[in-house]
Amino acid sequence: MLNKGDMVSVTYRVGWDQSGQAILETLEDCTVEKYKDGILVVSYATKKDDYVEIVSRTFDVNSPEFVGTVNL
């Protein structure tokens, strides 16, 4: 069970390559903001030129695009 404040990495499918293999992306060092009824909300920091941006992403864990999470 994921709880608010847990640190996780999230892997999800972004598409398919020409041979039919899934193209996956992984977000590292995400903080769980909320997990309820199969909806996972995480936030993570990205560096910009001279500042840090906090990005929030929402995933439906029952979606075929969602691959999984790993607790850090």
Determine the Cα–Cα distance for residues 30 and 8; give it in Å rounded to an integer. Answer: 5
Share of the chain above pLDDT 90, in %: 94
72: in domain: no
What residue numbers bound the domain in which 24 lies? 7-66
Rounded to an integer, the average pLDDT of 18-33 is: 96
Indicate whether 30 belongs to any domain. Answer: yes
Q: What is the pTM of this model?
A: 0.88
Q: How many domains does the chain have?
A: 1
Q: What's the average model confidence in pLDDT over 25-53?
A: 95
Whether 2 is covered by a domain: the verdict is no
pLDDT of residue 66: 94
Non-local CB neighbours of 18 within 8 Å, separated by 6+ positions: none
Over residues 10-24, the pLDDT tens digits come to 999 999 999 999 999
